[in-house]
Chains A and B, each alone.
Chain A
Amino acid sequence: GAVVSQHPSRVICKSGTSVKIECRSLDFQATTMFWYRQFPKKSLMLMATSNEGSKATYEQGVEKDKFLINHASLTLSTLTVTSAHPEDSSFYICSARGFSTATYGDTQYFGPGTRLTVL
């Protein structure tokens, strides 16, 4: 149980275009989803936290107008990188936290990640 999927796994786009990444919790309801960015050989940097049905909370230094997050349902969150530039190229990882702490122990489960390359 506790499987999180991401789509696409890899995307290449031209500078100036927008890219949407989907994150789904497949076998549990996720009241909270997280979006991380990971630079090569570095740890994960939390970008934002989203709760179903409400606006995302962005970490300091993360542009909310550039990284649009929508958490429309208990199983789906999307991250849209708007007007992407080469410096946005990175590995983006989503994470979901289960509704039931008794079952999931307040644990975050991670998706497989999306490699974004902006040309």
Chain B
Amino acid sequence: AQSVTQLDSQVPVFEEAPVELRCNYSSSVSVYLFWYVQYPNQGLQLLLKYLSGSTLVKGINGFEAEFNKSQTSFHLRKPSVHISDTAEYFCAVKPDQGAQKLVFGQGTRLTINP
């Protein structure tokens, strides 16, 4: 079975500052990794995903994440945040074999202050 831990439930950051949202996972098999963003009263939007290849993945809205297999981490980063980045961010994993379900972390609330 897989599990995902998002270490911070809330992250307040000033506008234009860098941010890192942490995600660690546990799995006995190889996995695919995802970051989703949820704006208030909306569904989830895919930010980026790691399936294979380069461990540094670039996504939409200037976000990127790095897959670190030895540390079983997939932290999300952005060098300079905007007010519009205020949202809930979810990390998720799925085994790379078989039609199994996504396992989500608890979510991190990113709040950008002016």
Contact = CB atoms under 8 A, between A and B. Distances in A.
B104 A44 contact: yes
A115 B102 CA distance: 22
Interface in B81-114: 90, 94, 96, 99, 101-102, 104-107, 109
A32 interface: yes
- Counting chain A residues whose Cβ lies within 8 A of the other chain, the interface size class is 20 to 34
Given A43-B106, A43-B107, A106-B51, A93 B101 contact: no
* Interface size of B as a range: 20 to 34
Q: Is the interface of A mostly helix, strand, loop or mixed?
A: strand
Contact of B44 (A49, A97, A110): A110
A67 interface: no
- Which are the 9 A-B pairs with shortest beta-carbon distances? A110-B44, A112-B43, A110-B43, A113-B43, A105-B51, A43-B104, A111-B43, A43-B106, A93-B43
Interface of A: 4, 6, 32, 34, 41-44, 46, 49, 91, 93, 95, 97, 105-113, 115
